[in-house]
Chains A and B, each alone.
Chain A
Amino acid sequence: MVSLGELREVVNWQEGLISPSVLFDKELYREEQTKVFEKVWMVVGHEDMLRKPGDYVTNYMGEVPVVVSRDMEGELHVLVNRCVHRGNEVCLFDRGNARAFTCSYHGWTYEISGKLIGVPMEKELYRDEIDHDSWGLEQVRVASYKGLIFATFDQSAPSLEEWLGEDGCWWLRNYVLVEHLGGLEALPGWHRYRTPGNWKHLAENFIGDDYHVIAATHVSWLKVVQEFTQKGYPIRRAAASIAAKRYEVTTGYLKGCPMGFGNMVLGQQAYEQDLALAEKIGHDAVEWVRYRNSRFQEVMKEYEIAPYSFQNGAIFPNLGLMGFLSPLAGRQFLLFHPRGTAEMEQWQWTMVEKEAPAIVKEVAAEYAYRGQHMAGTIAPDDVENQERIVEAMRAPRNWRKPHNYRLQLGHEEEAPQGIPGQVGPNPSEINQRNFYRFWLELMEA
């Protein structure tokens, strides 16, 4: 077992040598639930999931079940889904619209805002002495950035924007939440599945592991798509441009909350490829791809380099991003919820660009559920790796030799710069090192 005092030695991110005990040590896992999950801002949903007063979705923050709701006045809340009387779960649905939740145990009733509004036989039994203000559902601190909702258990945490950093906000605003295109639309529904492995391992996979995509994990699918395309089958699936050169982007590099944006491409080759695909889909798609590109160029004209898109990414700690490579791809937001050292649940939802034409939304959604999705052709291969890792790592003796995170060590800045964040070579393990840098900081705090 690793003690906190030894942690610095086993998480040698500077040298890219990190022990697998950070994934599998049970004591570290318990520590992490407090030191990481009670300290950070975490994504819990998107405002478009809650369009009407009374709308809610349930979710988790670490192991804590929460309800993300919009109250009758339109205010956002994140509530711990636990009756304050005796700990019963009060909201039992995945999502819904309701004015209040009534606990099934003794019938205390809470408004969708979390306020305690009903206690059976309050007068007779409690002589009206319950202070309703202090016995509501626990409110978690909530804030949203351009529609993306975050929450933190830490009342003393910096403001959300400060936490995300200027560079992080720039990437979120322009390339994730596409403010200049009218934002994103949520396609309702959590898509969820159990996954072996430690939550950090998938988070690090999304934040920076573009090595596995081309080297081994996903080659079977890439091969099939290529074969069928060559044979002339009508495939309307966006793909990474083979011609475009790729980079990794880091925000919160060496300081603050890490975000990574992988497979970022510059120039117009990927655009040309998307345009060719849009032509197969139809007039509306072509118009959208064109319009979108010109809007991006306007927004980016003051910068020295102009990213066209990125493919995958992550926000520390447990949000993964996928499907940002093309206007014809669906935006996927994936939460890796911890369920012990060697198990997690993936909860994901899909978004499309709100102002895109219907056919583009349809193609984009299809891209999402046929790819990085529990029944897709990409994600199950990722999960397979996790399953094998868990099997190989059961014995603590196998944690002694650190894992190798040394890819592009010392070459972090060898890429064209000129936009917020740091651009680095691809593939690399810069973002993974930066991920564990911050994790260590939190664990040692």
Chain B
Amino acid sequence: MLTLEQKREVEEFLYREAFLLDEMRFDEWLDMLSEDIEYTMPLREHLQGDVEPAGHPIIKDDKLMLTMRAKKHETGLSHVEIPRSLTEHIVTNILIEDGDNPTELRVYSNFLVRQARKLRDEAWWAGRRKDVLRREDGGWKIARREVLLDSIVLPRGITIFF
């Protein structure tokens, strides 16, 4: 059983993460991820009957790829983020369970992200996350994240983090 104190700590951690993402402080955000992080976003589909699962996901990133994505926007030439998107990550419904070993927790959360671009263009992203948080150096790191977007046809291309 987690103490209330520990629960608060995990919630605080996720809110801090959302804050850094909305502030576009990606270096600090990357520091919240373990070196061996697996960040995935499976393809959502409506399937009928006996068929094979999707052949590949939407996203399957390691820390290197996540870093490269962040760096792309720092080149000053990444048009899709010029000017930068305005985002609000609303993170709720946080549930915490014991992990596979004493240093890890399973953390579930829901999110609603609004992304505004330029004059009018906007996108709403809703979904759930299934994270594994690991205790490292006295703090928490995200060691695994699965993002389940509630979109079959995405409202736009993805250039932000969830």
| Alpha-carbon gap, A55 to B64, bound state (A) | 38
Q: Are A220 and B154 in contact, CB atoms less than 8 angstroms apart?
A: no
How many of A's residues come within 8 Å of B, CB to CB?
Answer: 53
What are some 14 contacts across the A-B interface (CB < 8 A)?
Answer: A94-B152, A96-B48, A97-B50, A193-B155, A195-B156, A220-B73, A366-B60, A375-B59, A379-B157, A380-B80, A387-B118, A387-B121, A391-B118, A391-B119
A 208-253 contacts with B by CB, 8 A: 216-217, 219-221, 223-225, 227-228, 233-235
Stretch at the interface among A184-192, A408-416, A434-442: A184-192
Known: A94-B45, A221-B72, A377-B72. A365 touches B55 (CB 8 A): yes
Our pick among A92, A221, A224, A369 for the contact of B46 (Cβ within 8 Å) is A92
Q: Are A383 and B75 in contact, CB atoms less than 8 angstroms apart?
A: no
Kindly provide the distance from the CB of A59 to the nearest chain B CB, expressed in whole angstroms: 13
B4 within 8 A of partner (CB) = no
Which of chain B's residues have a CB closer than 8 A to the CB of A227?
71
Known: A228-B68, A368-B56, A369-B59. A189 touches B43 (CB 8 A): yes
| Alpha-carbon gap, A369 to B49, bound state (A) | 26
B58 within 8 A of partner (CB) = yes
Which of chain A's residues have a CB closer than 8 A to the CB of B117?
387
B 115-143 contacts with A by CB, 8 A: 117-119, 121
Mask for A77-100, Cβ within 8 A of B = 1, else 0?
Answer: 000000000000000111111100
How many of B's residues come within 8 Å of A, CB to CB?
Answer: 43
Interface centre among B54, B78, B157, B159 (most CB of A within 10 A): B157
Q: Are B49 and A54 in contact, CB atoms less than 8 angstroms apart?
A: yes
A 85-117 contacts with B by CB, 8 A: 92-98
| Alpha-carbon gap, A366 to B152, bound state (A) | 20
Q: Are B157 and A193 in contact, CB atoms less than 8 angstroms apart?
A: yes
| Alpha-carbon gap, A193 to B43, bound state (A) | 12
- Decide if the interface of chain A is mainly helix, strand, loop or mixed: mixed
Q: Which residues of B contact A (CB under 8 A)?
A: 41, 43, 45-60, 64-65, 68-69, 71-73, 75-80, 117-119, 121, 152-159
Our pick among A93, A189, A192 for the contact of B55 (Cβ within 8 Å) is A189
Q: Are B47 and A223 in contact, CB atoms less than 8 angstroms apart?
A: no
Q: Are B51 and A95 in contact, CB atoms less than 8 angstroms apart?
A: yes
| Alpha-carbon gap, A194 to B54, bound state (A) | 20
A370 within 8 A of partner (CB) = yes
| Alpha-carbon gap, A54 to B56, bound state (A) | 23
Our pick among A98, A196, A345, A380 for the contact of B48 (Cβ within 8 Å) is A98
Kindly provide the distance from the CB of B156 to the nearest chain A CB, expressed in whole angstroms: 6
A 320-344 contacts with B by CB, 8 A: none
Known: A191-B58, A374-B157. A96 touches B68 (CB 8 A): no
| Alpha-carbon gap, A32 to B28, bound state (A) | 51
Q: Are A96 and B49 in contact, CB atoms less than 8 angstroms apart?
A: yes
Which of chain B's residues have a CB closer than 8 A to the CB of A223?
75, 77
Kindly provide the distance from the CB of B50 to the nearest chain A CB, expressed in whole angstroms: 5
Our pick among B55, B68, B153 for the contact of A188 (Cβ within 8 Å) is B55
- Decide if the interface of chain B is mainly helix, strand, loop or mixed: loop
Known: A95-B45, A379-B157. A224 touches B56 (CB 8 A): no
A284 within 8 A of partner (CB) = no
Kindly provide the distance from the CB of A355 to the nearest chain B CB, expressed in whole angstroms: 17
Which of chain A's residues have a CB closer than 8 A to the CB of B76?
220
Which of chain A's residues have a CB closer than 8 A to the CB of B57?
369
Which of chain A's residues have a CB closer than 8 A to the CB of B43?
189, 191
Which of chain B's residues have a CB closer than 8 A to the CB of A192?
152-154
Kindly provide the distance from the CB of A351 to the nearest chain B CB, expressed in whole angstroms: 9
Our pick among B49, B71, B156 for the contact of A194 (Cβ within 8 Å) is B156
A381 within 8 A of partner (CB) = yes
Interface centre among B49, B53, B75 (most CB of A within 10 A): B49
Using A96-B47, A381-B78 as known contacts, list a sample of 19 further A-B pairs with CB atoms less than 8 Å apart, ordered by residue number in A: A92-B46, A93-B48, A96-B49, A188-B54, A189-B45, A193-B156, A194-B153, A216-B77, A221-B72, A224-B71, A345-B153, A369-B56, A375-B41, A375-B157, A380-B156, A380-B158, A380-B159, A384-B80, A391-B118
Which of chain B's residues have a CB closer than 8 A to the CB of A93?
46-48
A350 within 8 A of partner (CB) = yes
Kindly provide the distance from the CB of A184 to the nearest chain B CB, expressed in whole angstroms: 12
| Alpha-carbon gap, A92 to B48, bound state (A) | 9
